[in-house]
């Protein structure tokens, strides 16, 4: 049986509580932790910002991509969307869809998580019909036949659980109804809109397996179910349904905002919430070494309060192995408690295995992002 080497100690001047009441001469706290935010951890108190580097050489660096600048994202098939970040267990893509899909999609490689960044439309699948809009998460189980008819141009973030599935996180002490009640999960319906698309005309299904696509032709529309029963189905939930965990006296770690769990990665959602009000509580994300996970943030809407010069549709990527945290302006604003409420919406992917950067991502990278923590003189 494995047991971590863990023996809480205190050396020098340190706060009694993480993320609160720092020593006056050391206002910068750094968390060195394992297993995301669930394992052993130590909190250091520094006199300088842990992100105050003056130079950076080598490939391990914080990165920022403006995927708004990518061209060729509008395709009729999700399987033509390129991998922007990926490893053996997950694929991170962005897909634009302006017109109705003419073929059904089917992913035999794993579950898909769609996040509607912009637009709205109608999803038809083996299980029935769902109307979807901006801010919706839609989990599509592996090997489900599906297609989308946009009511307006759509931009979708797609995260594939390669050879895996999505589950809800364990909510522990706060109970099953925290963050969002499972009753908020909508499933497709065999409604009039679904029945209206029954057809005896030929339809094709694009099946992706091992990253390659096969095309299967039917002399009718395979979406012809008249009913179903069971406990496997696509589900939809919107971030507007979320009621985030919060504490007025303690800045909760990102893990408190976990939305979906898959094999070797998690997806979290940051939504508007009150900022900590206790005078001694940290009011921005803490500096941390997340040395076991690569962190990816997709900025959906609002003003992300720990970052400067980040717009909606952009993505930051912080690989495991170095300390990161809020930008200087955001850190100072937190100390002054200028904002009382966050207005950001962002999707975070935390991957246990290192992510590779797709070739197309390099074309829209901001090479100066690594130096964005330098304080402006």
Q: Could you tell me the domains of the chain?
A: 28-65+241-371 (2.60.120.10), 72-239 (2.60.120.10)
Chain mean pLDDT for the chain:
92
Q: How far is CA 29 from the centre of its chain?
A: 25
**Strand pairing report for 104-107 and 203-209:** parallel
370 backbone dihedrals φ, ψ, rounded to 5°: -60, -25
Once rounded to an integer, what is the mean pLDDT over residues 353-359? 97
- Which of 24-28, 169-173, 272-276 is the least confident region? 24-28
288 is in an annotated binding site: yes
- Distance CA(204)–CA(47), nearest Å, equals 63
At 308, list the tokens.
Answer: 């400067």
Task: Kindly state the DSSP code that residue 313 receives in the 8-state scheme.
Answer: T
pTM here is: 0.93
Q: Which pair of tokens denotes residue 360?
A: 């197309």
Residue 324 assigned ligand-binding role: yes
Q: Is 224 annotated as a binding residue?
A: no
Catalytic residues: 251
Helix (H) or strand (E) holding 332: helix 328-336
Helix (H) or strand (E) holding 137: strand 136-140
DSSP code of residue 370: G
Please name the residues in contact with 22: beta carbons below 8 A apart, sequence gap of 6 or more: 15, 28, 29, 45, 280, 282
pLDDT at 315 over 90: yes
Residue 105: φ, ψ to 5°: -105, 150
CA distance 139 to 260: 10
- Mean pLDDT is highest, among 14-18, 98-102, 333-337, for 98-102
45 vs 5, residue with greater confidence: 45
């Amino acid at each position: 049986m494995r047991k971590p080497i863990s023996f809480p100690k205190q050396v020098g001047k340190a706060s009694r509580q993480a993320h609160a009441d720092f020593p006056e001469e050391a206002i910068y706290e750094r968390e060195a932790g394992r297993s995301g935010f669930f394992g052993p951890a130590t909190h250091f108190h520094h006199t300088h910002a842990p992100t105050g580097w003056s130079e950076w050489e080598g490939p391990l660096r914080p990165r920022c991509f403006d995927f708004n600048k990518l061209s060729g994202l509008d395709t009729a098939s999700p399987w033509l969307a390129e991998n922007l970040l990926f490893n053996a267990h997950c694929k991170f893509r962005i897909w634009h869809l302006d017109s109705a899909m003419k073929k059904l999609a089917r992913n035999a490689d794993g579950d898909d998580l769609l996040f509607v960044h912009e637009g709205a439309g109608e999803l038809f699948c083996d299980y029935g019909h769902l109307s979807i809009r901006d801010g919706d998460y839609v989990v599509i189980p592996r090997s489900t036949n599906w297609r989308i008819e946009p009511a307006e141009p759509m931009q979708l973030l797609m995260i594939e659980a390669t050879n895996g599935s999505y589950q809800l996180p364990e909510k522990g002490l706060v109970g099953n109804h925290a963050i969002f009640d499972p009753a908020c999960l909508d499933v497709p319906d065999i409604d009039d809109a679904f029945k209206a698309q029954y057809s005896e005309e030929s339809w094709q299904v694009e099946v992706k397996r091992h990253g390659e696509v096969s095309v299967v032709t039917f002399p009718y529309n395979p979406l012809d179910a008249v009913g179903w029963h069971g406990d496997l189905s696509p589900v939809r939930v919107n971030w507007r349904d979320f009621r985030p965990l919060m504490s007025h006296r303690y800045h909760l770690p990102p893990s408190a905002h976990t939305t979906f769990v898959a094999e070797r990665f998690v997806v979290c959602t940051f939504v508007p919430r009150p900022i900590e009000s206790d005078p001694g509580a940290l009011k921005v994300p803490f500096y941390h070494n997340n040395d076991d996970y690569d962190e990816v943030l997709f900025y959906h809407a609002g003003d992300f309060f720990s970052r400067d010069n980040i717009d909606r549709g952009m993505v930051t990527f912080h690989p495991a192995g170095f300390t990161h945290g809020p930008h200087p302006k955001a850190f100072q604003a937190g100390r002054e408690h200028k904002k009382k409420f966050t207005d950001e919406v962002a999707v975070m992917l935390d991957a246990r295995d290192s992510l590779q950067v797709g070739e197309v991502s390099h074309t829209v990278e901001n090479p100066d992002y690594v130096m964005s923590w330098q304080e402006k003189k």
